[in-house]
Amino acid sequence: MKATATSATTSTEPVPLLDLARENGPLEAEIAAAFDAVRRSGSFVLGPEVTRLEEALAQYCGTKHAIGCASGSDALLLALMAIDLAPGDEVIVPSFSFFATASCVWRLGAKIVFVDIDPVTFNLDPAQVAAAITPATRAIVPVHLFGQCADMEAINAIAAQHDITVIEDAAQAIGAELGGRRSGSLGDIGCFSFYPTKNLGGMGDGGMLTTSDDALADKLRLLRGHGMRPRYYHQVVGINSRLDSLQAAVLNVKLPHLDDWTRQRGENAVRYAELFAAAGLPADMVLPVDIAAGSAGRHVWNQYTVRVGGGQRDALRAHLRGESIGSEIYYPVPLHRQACFASVATAGGSLSITEQAAEEVLSLPIFPGLELTEQQRVVAAIGDFFASSQTERAA
Ligand SMILES: *Cc1c(COP(=O)(O)O)cnc(C)c1O
């Protein structure tokens, strides 16, 4: 038994940012059996486990089709290939995201148009999306960052007005909901990642595309397998981006537990809010806001990301590291500031909210299985940091 006698403030147990052993541990025997079955089957790429996962995920997301692929990055690339994106075309993406959201546009020779985010949700600001539309705009890629859906109603309305494709980057948001519908079914194509740190993580790389458009689904299937149909006859130039049977087998074991893990993430978020309220929220700190709370929406909390103002974020992170508490900065350098995009991207308006976010964000442990005492320790350590930094400033 731990943490019965020790109070949260005196404990020195490390608190990891993410502990996959707590998630996978209880399923170890089931995962091992699934691995063994694949090993004996001799079917290692695509095959029955992948088909099973595709069917289950389509049902989970509420789409007609789901198409497995090698990663979330490839899902984004395949989605843009499926709409024949070409040089001269423009794609609107947030600059405050993981690299893959924009690199897929670059790889097809099209123009990246970076648009600023909403300061509360960190997601694309629809007003700025509307202002960035040109006759060359072919697609918008809203990212459901940290597990909260972008304002899809507004973005879809803009897209419909200009006949533009909407591709959801739902890599961090499997199971997230808006207006009673799930991510992956809110745009034309949804892109998911099974990278181990995502809410549904495999034991390696993996990805999935979702759509309810029959023609797009067919094209995505063709493109992920070298454009080959039938075997050794190539209709179009695709890529090799298939999902491994072993990954699908692990994910088939894990998917039935996803909603329970998501519920735990949500409970941990509520608990942080309570603990910070009880301890007194530091003046320079802003907690994440679940804008869907109480409505027909769901935040799935892939990350619990606070803002730390007053230029104190990096010092706080160092303090937490000293206390063996895990944290991470998603993302320290906005995409429009990346060296590789210096000459190829344009900004659709100011990116000041993005730049401020990059200086202030800090993600704290929220994974399923995180214990109350661990959250108390995180909150206490943050309280200690601000108490001593105030004393320093007063001195
Ligand atoms: C993880 C992630 C991706 C890429 O997924 P991979 O499977 O790692 O290639 C794309 N976009 C966002 C927002 C992500 O978080």
**Domain-embedded: residue 190:** yes
Q: Looking at the domain assignment, is residue 197 inside a domain?
A: yes
Candidates 213, 170, 169; CA nearest to 188 is: 213
Where is the domain boundary, 256, 277, 292?
256
Q: Are residues 105 and 223 in the same domain?
A: yes
Best mutation site among 76, 80, 101 for ligand 1 pocket (most ligand atoms within 8 Å of CB): 101
**Residue 230: is the preceding peptide bond cis (ω within 30°)?**
yes
Q: Are residues 175 and 270 located together in one domain of the fold?
A: no
pTM of the predicted protein model = 0.96
Characterize 205-222 residue by residue with b for buried, 16 or more Cβ atoms within 10 angstroms of its Cβ, and e for exposed: bbbbbbbbbeebbebbbb
β-partners of residue 211 are 65
- Residues of the chain predicted below pLDDT 70: 1-10, 393-395
The response to whether residue 143 sits with its C-beta less than 6 Å from ligand 1 reads: yes
Question: Is residue 166 in a domain?
Answer: yes
Predicted pLDDT of residue 4: 37
126 shares a domain with 47: yes
Work out the end-to-end distance of the chain between its first and last CA atoms, rounded to an integer number of angstroms: 42
173 CB under 6 A from ligand 1? no
For residue 394, what pLDDT is reported?
65
- Name 168's bridge partners: 190
Same domain, 282 and 242: no
Going by alpha carbons, the residue nearest to atom 1 of ligand 1 is: 171
Structure tokens at 288: 């994440």
**236 shares its domain with 265:** no
How high is the pLDDT of residue 198? Answer: 98
pLDDT reported for residue 393: 64
Q: Please say whether the beta carbons of 114 and 93 come within 8 A.
A: yes
Domain annotation covers residue 44: yes
Residues 163 and 237 in one domain: yes
Residues 250, 307, single domain; the answer is: no
| Ligand 1 atom closest to residue 73's alpha carbon, by position in its atom list | 9
Same domain, 148 and 223: yes
The domain boundary, picked from 256, 291, 321, lies at 256
Q: Is 193 in the pocket of ligand 1 (CB under 6 A)?
A: yes
Query: Per the structure block, which two tokens stand in for 331?
Result: 């993302």
Q: Which residue among 256, 285, 314 closes a domain?
A: 256
Nearest CA to ligand 1 atom 14: 171
Ligand 1 pocket test, pick from 69, 96, 172 with the greatest ligand atom count within 8 Å of Cβ, gives 172
Cβ pair 230, 31 in contact under 8 A:
no
Same domain, 203 and 98: yes
Rg (CA), the chain: 22
How many domains does the structure of the chain reveal? Answer: 2
Query: What CATH number is given to the structural domain containing 169?
Result: 3.40.640.10
pLDDT of 22? 93
pLDDT at 2: 38
- Does residue 148's CB lie within 6 angstroms of at least one atom of ligand 1? no
State if residue 190 touches ligand 1 by the CB under 6 angstroms criterion.
no
Q: For residues 142 and 185, what is the distance between their CA atoms, to the nearest angstrom?
A: 13
Q: Is residue 1 part of a domain?
A: no
**Residues spanned by the domain of 301:** 257-394
Mapped onto helix, strand or coil, the DSSP state of residue 66 is strand
**166 three-class SS:** strand
> In this predicted model, what pLDDT tens digit does every residue of 9-45 receive, in sequence order?
557 789 999 999 999 999 999 999 999 999 999 888 8
CATH of the domain at 278: 3.90.1150.10
Q: Are residues 168 and 240 in the same domain?
A: yes
Can you tell me the distance from the alpha carbon of 53 to that of 66, in angstroms, rounded to the nearest whole number?
Answer: 9
Cα torsion through 61, 66, 68, 72, rounded to 10? -50
Residues 249 and 172 in one domain: yes
72 Cβ below 6 A of ligand 1: yes
Which residue has the CA at smallest separation from atom 2 of ligand 1?
Answer: 171
319 lies in some domain? yes
Q: Is 222 within the bounds of a domain? A: yes
Residue 218: inside a domain: yes
Assess whether the C-beta atom of 123 lies below 6 angstroms from ligand 1. Answer: no
The answer to whether the beta carbons of residues 17 and 330 sit under 8 Å apart is no
For residue 197, the ligand 1 atom closest to its alpha carbon is 1
Tell me if 86 sits within 8 A of 108, measured CB to CB: yes
**168 shares a domain with 41:** yes
